[in-house]
Structure 1
Amino acid sequence: MNSRTQNTLLTIGIPTGYAVILRLFFGVNTWNELFSIMSVTFLFLLPTILGALTIYLSSPEIVQSLAYRVFTPWIPVFLFLIITLAFALEGWACWLMILPIFLIGASIGGLIGGYLKARNTNKIINISILVFLPLFVGPIENLIETIPGTYIAYTYIDIEAPAEKIWDNVTHVSEIPQEHDKGYLTRMLGFPRPIKAELNFEGVGAYREAIFTKGLVFHETVTEYKDNKKMVFTIKAYPHQIPSTTLDEHLVIGGDYFDVLNGTYELEKLPNGLHRLHLYSHFKMNTTFNFYAGWWGKWIMKDIQNNILLVEKTRAEEG
């Protein structure tokens, strides 16, 4: 093995190995009060350190290239992705959500690594600071209490059908065949798809189970009801009832980080004779990076709701 090949393996292998070790370290359940995978430290700081290490360990000649500093740190990120998926340390859904952060963070880290390398400061000290920084920042971040954020996901669809027929499909969603499922985002993420949801009666206090594939069930109770006009309902998912293979542990609905609170249907008659069916829900995120997690949560909830609305529109217009 020539020195160039050996240097390349070290440049890529050390940051990748460091990422895997830190993932195992932060994933120890008994250390949840000090270190957490669902933290700014892990999701934002780690890829930056990966990028800085990759460039800092590279030979001075190739580091002169801006493209090298920006894109080469992506290699250990993708290797880290493959390893964590292969050993089931992370799920595919989680990676799809965090990959943009990791790639951007790695590129920023690459620029930082290039800057440090150009300054010719103490190499051992710089690498030590980079490697041990998450171990100091992680516990400090965990001392900061998370402030749960409540978000709203609003969707609507216009339907050419009588109000009674539309409302009947709102209150009684019979079994949805797989070919009618149009939830592109949730399907890509491997989320359960909706099967059926039927009220036991129409009025305040009514109950229904919104049943999804893979054992996911939303327990819904009506708190406000106006026939053919409005229905408000609470939504509850019990994490202990959801099979462990249904969702990534960090995305469990009703778990530590994500929960759906309630939903509302409203039916509005439009001047052109159509009806507009509104559907919105409130959900809660509980992380130290709600600014990013809330955006994903809203996108996912809108995809689920648009999927349901399209089914209800199709059935009302064709039924």
Structure 2
Amino acid sequence: MKVSLKTIVIPVIIALLFRFAFGINSLDSIYSVMSIAFLVGVPVGIGVLTVYLSPLHLVEKPYYKILMPWIPILLFCLITLLFFIEGWGCWIMILPVFLLFASIGGYIGGKLKLRKKKREEDIFVSLIVLLPLIISPLEQWIGSIPGTYKAYTYIDINAPADKIWSNVTRVGEIPESKNKASITKFLQFPRPIKAELNYEGVGASRSAIFSGGLVFHETVLEYEHQHKMTFSIKAYPYEIPSTTLDNHIVIGGQFFDVLNGTYELEKLSEATYRLHLYSYFKLNTTFNFYASYWARWIMKDIQNNILQIEKERAENMVQK
């Protein structure tokens, strides 16, 4: 299968130009990478353009229209990673959307190509490719609708309440070998290191320290000894080094923030307790319907990891 260079190079250049335009800070009131116009419109346009620029005999093959647009998308992804334009974590979350809509664009591009009315189709293709520039200002004018979401986890622990609670309020240094959070580890998110509490009671300050300079500043809002602890959570973006998190998913930033968390200890039997941990987080994008799945998945992965560490330590204290 022979494909001309322009079939791949031109769509990649177009994608990079869009990324540059949508990343200009002075234009963020009308163009934003964190928008449906970019995340859907750009891959659709790239898919249309890729197939439309392809030889007719290849466009006639159904699989070509669906799969060929993935090549410029993957090259675009690789270039942005190599030049640190985007982070690995962002691409893992967004790549399925890009590939899906690039294929949809490829299918549309194939339909236009096979109609063989070059002048009309040239105009249609140009309009589709430029559509994100038209849609984005309207999307930004409508604005995002902030949403609050819950991530709930729990674990059963065979240890007395006092042993469990001592590991809840204060978490000692966690070696890297104990980090079992599969999703966040794969995405290279910060891992938990320790949690410090100055005293047990309402108004107490708790610091949850993660790798990469990420610190959650927590204030205890509700406290029932060995039963319940609710705390507000605040992360300050200016404290987090730029190398720790991609600026589109930085905690406490424009698009994502964690609001509060709660531990609850429930007695199941004389020897077993269930430790509940849930948190509330906020998203502020125009595609919360998609972002919320990833955010909840990541939050639950972090929480499950912490619960597993607390379980192991509490049960070990009993055995000693």
Normalised TM-score (structure 2): 0.96
Equivalent residue runs for 1:100-119 within 5 Å: 100-119=96-115
- Give the alignment partner of residue 78 of structure 1, picking from 74, 77, 81: 74
User: What's the offset of the Cα at 1:70?
Assistant: 0.7
Aligned counterpart, 2:126 = 128
Q: Determine whether 1:15 maps to 2:11.
A: yes
Q: Distance in 2 between matches of 1:136 and 1:257?
A: 23
Q: Distance in 2 between matches of 1:246 and 1:119?
A: 49
Task: State the secondary structure of the residue aligned to 1:100.
Answer: helix
Aligned counterpart, 1:313 = 311
- Give the alignment partner of residue 93 of structure 2, picking from 97, 103, 106: 97
Aligned counterpart, 1:53 = 49
Q: Distance in 2 between matches of 1:150 and 1:156?
A: 20
Aligned counterpart, 1:238 = 236
User: What's the offset of the Cα at 1:272?
Assistant: 7.2
Aligned counterpart, 1:260 = 258
Task: State the secondary structure of the residue aligned to 1:157.
Answer: strand
Task: State the secondary structure of the residue aligned to 1:38.
Answer: coil
Q: CA-to-partner distance for each residue in 1:278-310, whole Å, 9 max, x for gaps?
A: 000000000000001111110110011001000
Task: State the secondary structure of the residue aligned to 2:155.
Answer: strand
- Moved beyond 3 Å, runs of 4+: none
Task: State the secondary structure of the residue aligned to 2:248.
Answer: helix
Q: Which runs of 5+ in 2 are unaligned?
A: none
Q: Distance in 1 between matches of 2:261 and 2:221?
A: 10
Aligned counterpart, 1:69 = 65
Q: Distance in 1 between matches of 2:137 and 2:183?
A: 34
Q: CA-to-partner distance for each residue in 1:7-43, whole Å, 9 max, x for gaps?
A: 5211111111100111011111100011000000001
Q: CA RMSD in A?
A: 1.2
Q: What count of residue pairs does the alignment treat as equivalent? A: 315
Aligned counterpart, 1:39 = 35
Task: State the secondary structure of the residue aligned to 1:276.
Answer: strand
Contact 2:222 2:228 in 1 (8 A): yes
User: What's the offset of the Cα at 1:124?
Assistant: 2.3
Contact 2:153 2:303 in 1 (8 A): yes
State the percentage of identical aligned residues: 60
**Partner letter of residue 18 of structure 2?**
L
Contact 2:48 2:129 in 1 (8 A): no
Q: CA-to-partner distance for each residue in 1:184-213, whole Å, 9 max, x for gaps?
A: 111111111110002111111111110111
- Give the alignment partner of residue 277 of structure 2, picking from 273, 276, 279: 279
Aligned counterpart, 2:190 = 192
Normalised TM-score (structure 1): 0.97
Q: CA-to-partner distance for each residue in 1:250-277, whole Å, 9 max, x for gaps?
A: 0110000000000000000114741100
Q: Distance in 2 between matches of 1:132 and 1:109?
A: 13
Q: CA-to-partner distance for each residue in 1:147-188, whole Å, 9 max, x for gaps?
A: 100000000000000011000100010100110111111111
Q: Determine whether 1:298 maps to 2:296.
A: yes
Question: Which moves more between the two structures, 133-142 or 215-224?
Answer: 133-142
Q: Which runs of 5+ in 1 are unaligned?
A: none
